[in-house]
Copies of this chain bind each other. A is one copy, B any other.
Amino acid sequence: MSKILIVDDETDISELISLHLSREGHDCKCIANGLQVMPSVIEFQPELIVLDLMLPGQDGIQVFKRLRADSRTRVVPVIMLTARAQVGDKIAGLELGADDYLTKPFSPRELVLRVTAVLRRIQKIHHVSEVRAGELLLDRKNMKVFSGDQPIDLTTTEFKLMATLMENPATVHTRADLLREVWGYNDDVATRTLDTHIKRLREKLGPAGNHILTVRGTGYQFTNTP
């Protein structure tokens, strides 16, 4: 369930990749032009970039260098796609710090595996410590939530739930998803704890509580703009 940006000139390949990654629950966006990369990354805020080195008009390596040169995009992991012939590029890419690479042609399954591996590896290492949403601010480092300047005391479970919701705003979190992420329930348990905790969160958040929307029959959703 990660946001992935696919940068490839060949739109059919992009779409194929996108299709397979979407099936895994990822949120994909495709762009064909290297010039769009920086703005797209800053706007879309992908958690992973799949970058074809064969881009029209400009070198994929240049695009990559620019990604790594900007502190806003530096930490985003990149998987490079290279044609088998471009050995030089591949080496250059890895030297510059690509997180993985794939030589064309490759099977979609292979790509999915690499993506999963990189995400798992990367997500364990970095994450954003502060999440902002309107007047709300989630501070992981100090395990606190602020509504404006006012700190809101949350218990551990409440905080985890809040963090899970805030981290992916505007997406619906299934009851099962939340129970898995926050409580570690892997099988589909019938429990009302989630409801109770949502209630407690809303209570403590006060007016900001209406950032948490109910999606009837499915789960809950955090919205930046209540």
Binding site for B on A (CB under 8 A): 65, 68-72, 74-75, 77, 94-97, 99, 121-130, 139-141, 143, 155-156, 160
A95 touches B69 (CB 8 A): yes
> A160 to B124, alpha carbons, bound, how many Å?
19
A140 touches B139 (CB 8 A): no
> A95 to B126, alpha carbons, bound, how many Å?
23
B130 touches A129 (CB 8 A): no
Q: Give chain B residues whose Cβ lies under 8 Å from the Cβ of A129.
A: 124-127, 129, 140
A125 to chain B, nearest CB (A): 6
B156 touches A139 (CB 8 A): no
A180 to chain B, nearest CB (A): 13
* Nearest B-chain residue to A75, judged by Cβ: B75
Given contacts A71-B97, A74-B75, A127-B129, 15 further A-B contacts (CB under 8 A): A68-B68, A68-B96, A68-B97, A69-B95, A70-B97, A71-B77, A71-B99, A71-B122, A74-B97, A75-B126, A124-B129, A125-B130, A127-B140, A127-B141, A129-B140
* Nearest B-chain residue to A125, judged by Cβ: B130
B143 touches A160 (CB 8 A): yes
Q: Give chain B residues whose Cβ lies under 8 Å from the Cβ of A160.
A: 143
A92 to chain B, nearest CB (A): 11
Interface residue from B65, B99, B123 paired with A95 (Cβ < 8 Å):
B65
4 closest A-B pairs (Cβ-Cβ)? A69-B97, A127-B129, A156-B156, A127-B141
> A100 to B130, alpha carbons, bound, how many Å?
21
> A126 to B65, alpha carbons, bound, how many Å?
20
Q: Give chain B residues whose Cβ lies under 8 Å from the Cβ of A122.
A: 71
A212 to chain B, nearest CB (A): 21
Q: Give chain B residues whose Cβ lies under 8 Å from the Cβ of A65.
A: 95-96
A213 to chain B, nearest CB (A): 25
> A207 to B222, alpha carbons, bound, how many Å?
42
Interface residue from B127, B139, B155 paired with A124 (Cβ < 8 Å):
B139
For A65, A96, A124, A126, which residue has the most chain B Cβ atoms within 10 angstroms? A126
